Amino acid sequence: MMSNLSQPTIAAFVPMRHSSERVIGKNYRLFAGKPLYHYIVESLLNCPQITQVCIDTDSPNIIEDAQQNFPNVKVLLRPEHLRSGMTPMNDVLLNSVSQVEADYYLQTHSTNPLLKSATISQAIDLFVKSPDYDSLFGVTRLQTRLYDSEGKAINHDPNILLRTQDLPPVYEENSNIYIFTKTILEERKNRIGYQPLMFEIGRDEAWDIDEEVDFRIAELLYKTRQESLNS
């Protein structure tokens, strides 16, 4: 039950493993002068709707750095059996929600450094004001010609060459933001519920770092944004 109808409690989780396969040490690697994970944590701390920010990690580097730089952030030590790169994120989150009480839970990643506090707040407000939905997840609009592995068109008729901007949009789950309840996570073993609300985020803000090229592009986009703000 919600603790306060007008101001629900919201706990935000940032899960981070110490090791990563494709971009070594990416969670704490320097990005535009600061460890990568600082950007999303700062964005979350600047959201007035968020009651508690939590880092779930097995990284001694992140634990030590977070204690020094983010004393108000709760650090959850990830247990041994959940540290494999093959462990589903939903299993990690089930462990996290068992340790932190809240009306709603929000999860994002350190690999989304361009995600703004205002966008997170907008997603929260939209979800809280949308009682017909039981969860929310971030998406990126795609208007491009897509094909399946057998070469069959997915979202267009190859015999009618529409301009890409005139194609009906499809949406990619971008992993930037999820909002859900403990009940939904426990029942479905999934962050996405029975009636999810898709929340669109612009491509330039939704950039997710999976590979080295993503790191470099995201860093360039961030520096360009800062130069524009300072000009």
Q: What is the CATH classification number for the domain harbouring 60?
A: 3.90.550.10
Question: What confidence score (pLDDT) does residue 170 get?
Answer: 87
Question: What confidence score (pLDDT) does residue 197 get?
Answer: 98
Question: What confidence score (pLDDT) does residue 154 get?
Answer: 86
pTM, entire model: 0.90
For the beta carbon of residue 131, count every other beta carbon within 10 angstroms: 7
**Which residues of the chain fall short of a pLDDT of 50?**
1-4
Question: What confidence score (pLDDT) does residue 160 get?
Answer: 84
Residues 6 or more apart in contact with residue 161 via CB below 8 angstroms: none
**H-type helices in 146-211, by residue range?**
182-188
Show the domain range for 46: 10-139+172-230
The arrangement of strands across the sheet holding 104-107 comes to 74-77, 52-57, 10-16, 104-107, 170-180, 135-142, 196-200
Residues 6 or more apart in contact with residue 173 via CB below 8 angstroms: 137, 138, 139
Domain membership of residue 179 (yes or no) is yes
Domain membership of residue 152 (yes or no) is no
Question: What confidence score (pLDDT) does residue 108 get?
Answer: 98
Domain membership of residue 161 (yes or no) is no
Domain membership of residue 119 (yes or no) is yes
Domain membership of residue 151 (yes or no) is no
C-alpha–C-alpha distance, residues 146 and 187, integer Å = 33
Question: What confidence score (pLDDT) does residue 5 get?
Answer: 52
